[in-house]
Amino acid sequence: MTTLAKIAEIEAEIARTQKNKATNFHIGLLKAKLAKLRQQLVSISPPNPPPEFTLHSLRT
């Protein structure tokens, strides 16, 4: 299951959960998981671009 699928699943569960005092803790846990997954999604770095200008290529 990809990160985007997990995010969509958690958002759907938050949407269908009734909001009241009894479910407040559960919704908070879901929001924490959602924030963690979003942070993980943002922190994934793109692949390194090919080196065009390096110190070695400038010296030769």
- Assess if residue 46 is contained within a domain: no
Domain total in the chain: 1
- Assess if residue 18 is contained within a domain: yes
- Assess if residue 51 is contained within a domain: no
Q: What is the pLDDT of residues 35-52, one digit of tens each?
A: 999 999 888 766 666 666
- Assess if residue 25 is contained within a domain: yes
Angle between helices 24-43 and 3-16 (to 10 degrees): 160
Q: Is 30 exposed, middle or buried (0-12, 13-18, 19+ CB in 10 A)?
A: middle
For residue 26, what are the domain limits? 3-34
CA 28/CA 35 separation, integer angstroms? 11
- Assess if residue 24 is contained within a domain: yes
Give pTM, 2 decimals: 0.69
Cα 59 to its chain centre, rounded Å, is: 42
pLDDT bin (cut points 50, 70, 90) of residue 18 is very high
Query: Residue 9 carries which side chain, given as an amino acid letter?
Result: E
Neighbours of 31 (CB within 10 A): 13
- Assess if residue 53 is contained within a domain: no
